[in-house]
Amino acid sequence: MGGVLAIGFLLCNLLLLFDTSFSHPLCIDSRAPSTPSSPLKFCPYNETACCNSTEDLQIQKQFQTMNISNSGCASLLKSVLCARCDPFSGELFTVDSVPRPVPLLCNSTVSANSSQSIQEVNDFCSNIWDTCQNVSILNSPFAPSLQGQAGVPVKSNVSELTKLWQSKADFCNAFGGASGDGSVCFGGEPVTLNDSGTPNPPHGLCLEKIGNGSYLNMVAHPDGSNRAFFSSQQGKIWLATIPEEGSGAAMELDESSPFVDLTDEVHFDTAFGMMGIAFHPNFAQNGRFFASFNCDKVTWPGCTGRCSCNSDVNCDPSKIGSDNGAQPCQYQTVIAEYSANGTASQPSLATSAKPSEVRRIFTMGLPFTAHHGGQILFGPEDGYLYLMMGDGGGTGDPYNFSQNKKSLLGKVMRLDVNNVLSEAEIDKLALWGNYSIPKDNPFSEDPELRPEIWALGLRNPWRCSFDSARPSYFICADVGQDLYEEVDVITKGGNYGWSFYEGPYVFTPPKSLGGNTSRKPTDPIFPIMGYNHSEVNKKEGSASITGGYIYRSETDPCMFGRYLFGDLYAGAIWAGSEDPENSGNFSSSKIPFSCGRDSPIACSSVPDSSLPALGYIFSFGEDNRKDIFILASSGVYRVVRPSRCNYTCSKENVTAVATPGPNGSPSSHATWLSSNPSKNVVLLFSSLVLLLLSFV
């Protein structure tokens, strides 16, 4: 027992010592910064800012009412007030989840993050004290809070810093330092991050094939084990066991024994089927899981819902065209809840579930037979269910659904599936099913929005993910039409431009068929990366992006921190990187890939090439160890150590280390030591966890 306590104490100290930090541009209200439609006249932020001209004027009026007589102090206070416009204001004004009246002021007594390029880190907090300590300031934002911290200030008329605080040390203890994660503080100028140089791209991506099946979705088991759920477009979900990387074993999945079979409800066709699965964050305790699929109301009585084309969005469902001759809204998008309770002594041990719905979460009729997304996933920090919905189909979004704030097409939605409403409440809010609305959804600031909407202006989001290291990076790939495939960082209330923009390019939509007069977005958010159709060798004359994940596994250290994504038809893979790190500025390039000679299942090759024949890249997956998987028409592939494909990675230690196998016998498992100390700690931490478990 003493050994367990000692190791536990060591682990806690390691976590405290080597806690890594990340930041990226984000406004106080969780929106992404944007380019002001008209130049700001008071605050020095115009390229990207968290303020518009109205807010800029409000800050100017606040500054003028302070009536600061000292010009030096006035200049400093202006920069402090204008920090609300800084692209990093979300972190500057919120530390340890506590909102602040002023940004966190850089203080030389606290070690600054080495990536921060603020030249005045030599003590901006002290500079304010020294310059303003005896200057009268009306309604000073530096008044202490009732709790004695830098929270909401006590209302005060005229005040001097020396009358509010006993000393410079007390003042800077309240307002100075580094942010809660040690990444950003304010030094009097707009926050920037050092450019550390464009990182060298990896030599290649090494894959091993561990499964032959064709799957559309992969979700790691919420219990943290080496198991994962896979689902097919036809409507089945399986529970599989993922082998150790390099063990030579294929994944264990019995096609004849699915976890649940929903094929009786799911309508399967080229663009229809089971599009998403999500398991409640507390699945191991409550057994709740969800499926997103399409149904046909002609063949299944349970397929009933309101048409997405309706009077609320200036669309007459009786007049809409269909691209396959079906009746309007014959096909529906459904999210249904199921339960694994009752099939095992506890849900985490369940190997099957009943196909009967516990609750219908969402049902909506589709105007056309394409562009209806359908992926669902839970937010890692808020626990809400996100639903990705395309524009409904039709060339150029002819009804302009994506920009229509009353339509749910072309949107990312955010739903609360934990709080059940009564039928009367559902009817009053005109909801599309049995869910409730998170109070901080964007409709609270924009009453024109349907309350379900989190972001808008998307064509057909196909595979989104939250970065496991930085959950504020919510990344979606959005399928283009004729020119450009894009990758976006999704933020609260963000408008991604379709159909007025296709990626970064202006798009001229066809004449609206539904009388929709939605305005062109004034502040569209453009892609962080993507590719033109001309860049891929297209099969079937098309291109279609498939979104992936930011790579966070230790298996390939040269891939760490890069966003992996692919193209459905081209079978090509891209790696995107940030430069400088944590800036939100991405670039991407195609990356070579090959299959390890010791792959558990032999990879077939492209004719006249050594490249593995992936076929269509349907999706990507991530397991609990953060290894990345490619779900392709030819099988399931995992990203493995570069050396297994003879790729050179200077950060990989190719010396094999014996680790206990599943049956207690040693198995060869290569590890690595990175030149990055934080990654070395991850390795040490993992080893200590194994040691700790041996005592339990």
pLDDT over 70 (residue 200): no
Q: How far apart are CA 596 and CA 358, in angstroms?
A: 44
690 assigned to some structural domain:
no
Residue 611, pLDDT score: 72
Burial 44-66 (b: 16+ CB within 10 A, else e): ebeebbbbbeebbeebbeebeeb
631: helix, strand or coil: strand
Q: Are 436 and 420 contacting, i.e. CB atoms less than 8 angstroms apart?
A: yes
How many structural domains compose the chain?
2
Judge if 128 and 245 occupy the same domain: no
pLDDT over 90 (residue 563): yes
Q: Specify the higher pLDDT residue, 286 or 200.
A: 286
> How is 40-101 classified by DSSP, letter by letter?
-SSSS--SSBS--HHHHHHHHHHHHHH----HHHHHHHHHHHHGGGSTTHHHHSEETTEE-S
Q: Specify the higher pLDDT residue, 391 or 47.
A: 391
pLDDT over 60 (residue 154): no
Q: How far apart are CA 223 and CA 624, in angstroms?
A: 9
pLDDT over 50 (residue 451): yes
8 assigned to some structural domain:
no
Residue 155, pLDDT score: 52
657 assigned to some structural domain:
no
Q: Specify the higher pLDDT residue, 571 or 414.
A: 414
Residue 364, pLDDT score: 97
The residue-averaged pLDDT of 274-282 equals 98
CB count in 10 Å sphere of residue 151: 14
Classify residue 263 by burial, with Cβ atoms within 10 Å: 0-12, 13-18, 19+: middle
Kindly indicate the confidence band of residue 394, based on its pLDDT and cuts at 50, 70 and 90: confident
Judge if 210 and 319 occupy the same domain: yes
Least confident of 274-278, 442-446, 624-628, 692-696: 692-696
Q: Specify the higher pLDDT residue, 227 or 696.
A: 227
Judge if 168 and 279 occupy the same domain: no
42-56, 524-538, 550-564, 643-657 — most confident range: 550-564
Boundary residue ending a domain (131, 158, 175) = 175
Q: Phi and psi for 171 in degrees, rounded to 5?
A: -60, -50
Residue 542, pLDDT score: 76
Q: How many residues does the chain have?
A: 696
pLDDT over 60 (residue 539): no
Least confident of 121-135, 407-421, 460-474, 669-683: 669-683
Judge if 138 and 272 occupy the same domain: no
Domain with 371 in it: what CATH number? 2.120.10.30
Residue 245, pLDDT score: 94
**Each residue's pLDDT tens digit, 81-120:** 999 999 989 888 887 667 888 999 988 654 334 333 333 3
Q: Find all residues with CB under 8 Å of 625, minimum gap 6, and list them.
A: 226, 553
113 assigned to some structural domain:
yes
Token digits for 511? 């004449």
Token digits for 318? 């009786």
650 assigned to some structural domain:
no
pLDDT over 50 (residue 188): yes
Q: Phi and psi for 426 in degrees, rounded to 5?
A: -65, -45
**Each residue's pLDDT tens digit, 288-339:** 999 999 999 999 999 999 999 998 898 888 877 555 555 779 999 999 999 9
Alpha carbon separation from 505 to 252, 477, 528, 532, 661 (Å, rounded): 45, 16, 13, 11, 53
Judge if 167 and 209 occupy the same domain: no
Q: Specify the higher pLDDT residue, 519 or 451.
A: 451
Q: Specify the higher pLDDT residue, 283 or 3.
A: 283
314 assigned to some structural domain:
yes
pLDDT over 60 (residue 413): yes
Q: Are strands 484-489 and 94-95 parallel, antiparallel or unpaired?
A: unpaired
352 assigned to some structural domain:
yes
**Each residue's pLDDT tens digit, 479-526:** 999 999 999 999 999 999 999 999 999 998 776 666 566 788 988 999
State the average pLDDT for the chain. 84
pLDDT over 80 (residue 199): no
Residue 192, pLDDT score: 73
Token digits for 670? 């290569």
- Note down the domain range covering 221: 205-645
Consecutive H or E run containing 618: strand 617-622
Kindly indicate the confidence band of residue 682, based on its pLDDT and cuts at 50, 70 and 90: very low
Q: Phi and psi for 6 in degrees, rounded to 5?
A: -65, -45
The fraction of the chain above a pLDDT of 70, given in percent, is: 81
Whose tokens are 């040691």? That residue is: 691
Boundary residue ending a domain (175, 193, 220) = 175
pLDDT over 80 (residue 527): yes
Judge if 120 and 212 occupy the same domain: no
Boundary residue ending a domain (123, 153, 175) = 175
The residue-averaged pLDDT of 562-581 equals 92
Alpha carbon separation from 143 to 58, 81, 100, 268, 352 (Å, rounded): 20, 15, 12, 63, 60
Largest pairwise CA distance in the chain: 80
Least confident of 12-26, 213-227, 278-292: 12-26
Q: Find all residues with CB under 8 Å of 453, minimum gap 6, and list them.
A: 405, 408, 411, 412, 413, 414, 441, 442, 443
Consecutive H or E run containing 564: strand 563-567
242 assigned to some structural domain:
yes
